[in-house]
Amino acid sequence: MLSVETIAVLLVGYLLGSIPFAVIVAKRAGVDIFSVGSGNPGATNVLREVGKQAGYCVFVLDFLKGLAATTWFLLPIFVFSEDPTLGLWGLPAAVLGHTFPVFSRFRGGKGVASTMGGLLGVMPASLIIGLVTWMILFYFTRYVAVASIGFGVSLPVSALVVTMVGGEGSHWGKVVLALLVMSLITWRHRSNIVRLREGTENQFDRSNASKSDTRTIFRH
C-alpha cells in the first residue's frame, strides 16, 4: 500500500506536470499552439511557430517543473520526508501530467524537457548521458524526434550501468523508472516514427526558429 508521502508526491508531481507552459506562452504571443505546426504543445513547436525566445522559455519552464516534481518535498518548508527516493515517484507523475495535463483537457506534449528536469533531481548521471546522446543524434540528423527517442532509449541503459557499478544509490527502481519513461517517450513519438519511415518528418531549420522572432511572448 502506498504511503501518504508517496501519494502526495504523485499528486503534486502530476499537477506540476500538468501546467501547460507551451499553451500559456504561445497564447501570450497570440498563437493557439494546437492549431499551428505539428499541433504539439511543446518547446520545439513553440520555437518553430512562435520564436526562439518563446521556445527556450517553454523548455526551461518544462525542465523546472520536472525538477520541482522530484525535489519539492525536500524543501525545509514541507519537511514531511527526507527520503530523496520519493522523487522516483515524482518523475513519472510529472511526465504523465505533461503528457495528459488536466489543465488543458488532457492534450499535452511529449515530456522530454520535463523528463530531463526530473532526472536532474533523481538520476543526474543518466541525465548527462542522455543529453550527450541527444546532442550527438541531433547534430548528425537534425531531427529533434530522433534525438528525443535516442535520449529515451539511453536512459535504461545508463541507469542499468550506473546501478550495477554502485552509483546514485544503486537503486534498481531507477532502472524500472527509466524503462517506463523510455516507453512513454517512444510511444508519444509514434507519429514522428511513422513520418520518419515515410520520409516526411521535418528536420530542424534554423530559419524557421527565427522566422517569428518579431513576435513577442509579452504581446497582448
Whether 10 is in a domain gets the answer yes
pTM of the model as a whole = 0.88
Number of domains the chain is built from: 1
Whether 18 is in a domain gets the answer yes
Domain of 14 in residue numbering reads as: 4-210
Of the candidates 26, 107, 14, 31, the one whose C-alpha atom is nearest the C-alpha of residue 65 is 14
Whether 219 is in a domain gets the answer no
Whether 149 is in a domain gets the answer yes
User: pLDDT digit of tens for each residue in the chain (220 aa)?
Assistant: 788 889 999 999 999 999 999 999 999 999 999 999 989 999 999 999 999 999 999 999 999 999 999 999 888 887 666 777 888 999 999 999 999 999 999 999 999 999 999 999 999 999 999 999 999 999 999 999 999 999 999 999 999 988 888 755 557 788 988 999 999 999 999 999 999 999 998 887 655 454 445 444 433 3
Whether 215 is in a domain gets the answer no
Question: By the 8 A CB rule, do 191 and 198 touch?
Answer: no
Whether 185 is in a domain gets the answer yes
Q: Is 81 helix (H, G, I), strand (E, B) or coil?
A: coil
pLDDT tens digit sequence for 138-195: 999 999 999 999 999 999 999 998 888 875 555 778 898 899 999 999 999 999 999 9
Whether 41 is in a domain gets the answer yes
Dihedral angle of Cα 54, 96, 69, 37, to the nearest 10 degrees: 0
